[in-house]
A and B are shown apart, each in its own frame.
Chain A
Amino acid sequence: MSDLVLPARAQPNSAARRRRMPIAVAIAITWLAAVLFVAIFADWLRPFGITALDLRARLTPPVGFGGSWAHALGTDELGRDVLSRLLVSIQMSLRIAFGATIIAAVFGTTMGFLAAHFRGWVEQIVLMLIDFQASMPFLILALSVLAFFGNSLLLFTCLLGLYGWERYARISRGLAIAANAQGYAAAIRQLGAKPMRIYLGHVLPNIASTLIVSATLSFPEVVLLESGLSFLGLGVQPPMTSLGNMVGYGREYLTRAPWILLTPSTVIVLTTLAVSLLGDWLRDRLDPTLG
């Protein structure tokens, strides 16, 4: 039976080759699905509470390094279960990173389109906000949220969403202006299409690839920014936990109990890698001009 199928498979057309998913991308998607699953069901999956501590079992190593299955990934400086904290941290960081990336992408792209469409003083205001954002060290923005609104997760996510919006804005403005100048947008406009339709239906798909690359870049950046803020003591605050928070507090134990820092770091690296792979693949598929 297989003999009959083989010849047909041996000569796929170029479109089919492009659509077939590379193994790396499949693995990336699987990983992301697993991470997503963990994020949704973290509270059911975790064997211990994230604040439950045991001062007699501090810094016990993971299974295979002298530890036991009771704490498969070991314990931290307070004897808390690293696995449980990791699961909840994934949930927290994913919420923040997804939320912030979406906020940044939507807000930034909208601002960019507004600037490109209206030009004039609207454009000037958008450009001024971009300059403002770029000139204001993030440290101070983070400080203001922590100082005025306390440890609110929602506001923290919005804050990180501010990070990087200006990049989407600049790129989408530049690309939309270029697209406007190109033939197809003008042609559609002459056909009587509404501006909204032009931007969403025609300009956006044309610049989507660059924006997607931007998003796959800013997703890890948000995770890293969050860990950088944890380094400065301005990130997710205890008793809450996040990947950045774990890495930030774990750095003191890099040589003594490396698992505290390495497990969240590994999750950060793998997730980022998966998002980037997926982003590249989507980019290739979405871009009609690539042959």
Chain B
Amino acid sequence: MIGFLGLRLLRAALTIVLVVSFAFIVLRLSGDPAMTIMSPEAPPEAIAAFRTAWGLDRPVWEQYFSYFGAILQGELGQSMRDGRPAMAVVLERIPATLMLTIPALIVKVGIGVPAGVFAALYRNSWIDRLVMALAVAGFTVPSFVLGLILVLIFAVSLGWLPSGGQDSWRNIILPVITMSLGGAGVLARFTRSAMLEVLGQPYIRTATAKGVPWAAVVRGHALPNAAIPTVTIVGFMVGTLIAGAVVVESVFSWPGVGRLLVVAVANRDLAIVQCILLLVAVTMVTANFIVDLLYGVLDPRLRGTASTGAH
């Protein structure tokens, strides 16, 4: 177990190094923060001064190593836009993002998983057809189109809900619906598929043949086994909680991490982008780790697999 954990930690560390390096290279080589933040109308001396102040005039490799050196000392840098500590800027936005992403995840799982299970249990019935049609409809409309249409209906025409902003709990309803419909559809389809797979397995038939009640078979055998692919997808969704929803946050003018990321990337504000990526990577790695542990719980056959690499 300790070897397993050590390996996971090593892999996580390498992943984060890879993410940070990649982002560094892309952001540094694909645009000039001085030009973007100050605009090309700014005096050339001001742009030169900006570059010197942020070390942008040094060779890229030198910037890279000094950046990593700083990170290792826990120095995550400042925003080039206003000089504030980058991590503080990012952390300030996280509650707003979680206010959307956590309810959205709950709705996705709460609707998607039961819908998929029911569709599988009543395969080829009208319930199945209806659930699957809704599931497909859920994820085929681009989220900004869905968001704008929901706003037109519920905010403009009916006046029931606010169109955007962050003033009260009513503001989260439309963005959460917009975010969850697609995810619920994806989960419903995966769950249904996994359930059907399991229901067709010989041990289910054996159990049924032995006279175990159907409900018990479903609860005891089908559900845990079918949970594996579903848990994988949910794990992935948990990993994206921090990064938020770039498009939905823009449509609903929600000041979360997703919008911060868009603005920071557009400005090539490296320190901010890197802080977001670090948080996303840590969440993602943690979520994957938990998923792997869940695999072991759900399916004893997979229990040893994750640690196999250790020997």
What residues of chain A have their CB less than 8 Å away from a CB belonging to chain B?
119-121, 123-124, 127-128, 130-132, 134-137, 139-140, 143-144, 147-148, 167, 170-171, 174, 177-178, 181, 209-210, 213, 217, 220-221, 224, 227-228, 231-232, 244, 247, 251, 254-255, 261, 265, 268-269, 272-273, 276-277, 280, 283, 287, 289-291
Bound complex: CA of A283 vs CA of B132, how far in Å? Answer: 14
- With the chains together, A16 CA to B82 CA distance in Å? 70
Q: Is there contact, CB below 8 Å, between A170 and B232?
A: yes
- Give the number of residue pairs across the A-B interface with Cβ within 8 Å: 168
Main secondary structure on A side of the interface with B: helix
How far apart sit A153 and B143, CA to CA, in the bound complex (Å)? 24
B302 touches A177 (CB 8 A): yes
A178–B301 Cα gap in the complex (Å)? Answer: 7
Q: Which of B143, B233, B284 contacts A135 (CB 8 A)?
A: B284
Residues of A within 8 A of B232 (CB): 167, 170-171, 174
Return the 8 tightest CB-CB contacts between A and B, nearest first: A147-B30, A289-B200, A135-B281, A272-B140, A144-B26, A131-B15, A227-B142, A135-B284
- Which of B137, B152, B202, B228 is in CB contact (< 8 Å) with A269? B137
Please state if A139 and B23 are interface contacts (CB–CB under 8 Å): no
A70 → chain B closest CB, angstroms: 27
- Known contacts: A255-B152, A268-B142. The answer to whether A119 contacts B301 by CB under 8 A is no
Given the interface contacts A128-B11, A232-B247, A232-B262, does A135 sit within 8 Å of B19 by beta carbon? yes
CB pair B261–A147 under 8 Å, yes or no, is no
B31 near A135 (CB under 8 angstroms)? no
Measured CA separation A209–B281 after assembly (Å): 31
Interface string of B207-235 (1 = CB under 8 A from A): 00000000000000000000011001100
**A229 CB, nearest partner CB in chain B, Å:** 10
Q: Are B280 and A228 in contact (CB under 8 A)?
A: no
Report if A178-B200 is in contact (Cβ < 8 Å); known contacts: A127-B11, A134-B284, A143-B265: no
Q: Tell me the interface secondary structure of chain B in the complex.
A: helix
The answer to whether B19 and A123 have CB atoms under 8 Å apart is no
CB pair A131 B11 closer than 8 Å: yes
Q: Could you tell me if A290 and B140 are in contact, using CB atoms closer than 8 angstroms?
A: no
Q: Is the CB of B132 within 8 A of A265?
A: no
What is the number of residues of chain B that contact chain A, defined by CB distance less than 8 Å? 68
Which residues of the partner chain B approach A135 to less than 8 Å between Cβ atoms? 15-16, 19, 239, 277, 280-281, 284-285
Contact of B145 among A174, A265, A276 (CB under 8 A): A265
Chain B residues within 8 Å of A251, by CB: 144-145, 148
Taking Cβ atoms with an 8 Å cutoff, the residues of B that contact A are 7, 11-12, 14-16, 18-19, 22-23, 26-27, 29-31, 132-133, 136-137, 139-145, 148-149, 152, 182, 186, 189-190, 193-194, 196-197, 200-202, 228-229, 232-233, 236, 239, 243, 246-247, 250, 261-262, 265, 273, 276-277, 280-281, 284-285, 288, 295, 299, 301-302, 305, 308-309
Q: How far is the CA of A220 from the CA of B281 in the complex (A)?
A: 26
Interface centre among B132, B194, B197, by most A CB within 10 Å? Answer: B197
B-side contacts of A255, CB under 8 Å: 152
A148 touches B30 (CB 8 A): yes
